[in-house]
Amino acid sequence: MKLAFRETVAAALPSAEQLRARLDALPGGDWSELAALFSAGLPELDAVVALPGGELLARALAHDRGIPLLEGLSAATGTAVSPPGEVALVTGYLTDGLAELEALLRAEGQGLRVRVVAAAIECTNAPGRTRLELQDMRVLAAVQLADTPEGLAFERRIPHPWPRVS
């Protein structure tokens, strides 16, 4: 299922700018295919929280699961959420993990339990995964990229497993 998404990423490499432009132009159907991949590996959830850059994937995932989409938890003002429940944070591009960590803290402050962070793309040589895993957070990424001297490339080291989150 993630083949169309992976092909889109591959066509943009090694340029980070081209990658972002291609992701911005990605049709909704491709996000739906990616959401179906994530949906199969996620636990039962009460809602999906969209982070900036992950809105289209989050919307597709919420639709696929038939659960609400919550937006705005990473904003400075936050958004009141009721009732409390279990959620997934969805981001488009995981790098340093600071936006995801901020959203995690805001969600927990509003009574939500974050079960997993789902990223369309993870930059493997950035500290995002480590920061989140230190908070006992499971991280799932559809595509892992390494930032090399030649530009972005698919991660060649042993990738993180795609576990089923329970």
pLDDT digits (tens, 9 = 90+) for 13-65: 999 899 989 888 888 778 888 899 898 889 999 999 999 889 999 999 999 99
Residue 53 or residue 2, greater confidence: 53
Q: Per residue in 154-166, is it b (16+ CB within 10 Å) or e — as a string?
A: ebeeeeeeeeeee
CATH of the domain spanning 3-154:
3.40.50.2020
Instruction: Domain ranges for the chain, please list them.
Output: 3-154
Q: Enter the tokens of residue 115.
A: 């079960």
Calpha distance 120→71 (Å, rounded):
17
